[in-house]
Each structure stands twice: as structure tokens, then as C-alpha cells.
Structure 1
């Protein structure tokens, strides 16, 4: 199993001063949309899969 996240939301903490001043988030992705996820959600998914739990919920 391989879990890959596009961008961890916690990485934004280092950029808070710049985000506050510019009112924008700057990423090396040009104008593309970037999916962000909390590392705790990645961990919860890994635990569920490794413990054999099957999800019944669909993403919204």
C-alpha cells in the first residue's frame, strides 16, 4: 500500500506571515488547484486500511 498526499496543510504554517501580508497562498503549481490534507487524516486512513476496516462513506 502506498499513501501519497498532494500537500500537507501543516506545511502552510511556515508561510503564515507571507499569506497574511499578501492575502494569497503561493505554491509551485502555477494556477493549478492543489489538494491539501491534514497529516492526521492520512494517518487515520493508514490505520483503517492496516486494521482491515472498510469505509462505507463516500467523499463529498
Structure 2
């Protein structure tokens, strides 16, 4: 769920997702260390159905 939320671009971040900003400031190693994954824009789900999908896995 958090990967989807933090992969969504935000106007207040210059239309960049929080993960892109984190990667820019701290480097990609931090993303790997915490096992963060950037979700492609067309694959982002910001609806309750995402939680239902996670329960099935």
C-alpha cells in the first residue's frame, strides 16, 4: 500500500513522487535498504481494492 501511495506524483513536489525525492536526496541505496519499490504510474492503485488484493496474496 505504501509503495502505491509514495509512487503517486504530487504537485507540491514538482509533480514528482515522494520516492523520487527520497532517491534524489539519499540515493537509491536507501530505497533498496528499506525494500521500497516504485510503482509505475499506470499501475498505481489508490482505492480500497488494493487492500483486498493484498489479503489474497
Write 1 or 2 for the structure with the bigger share of helix: 2
Higher relative contact order (CA 8 A, sep 6+): 1
After TM superposition, the score normalised by the length of structure 1 is 0.31
Bigger radius of gyration: 1
TM-score normalised per structure 2: 0.31
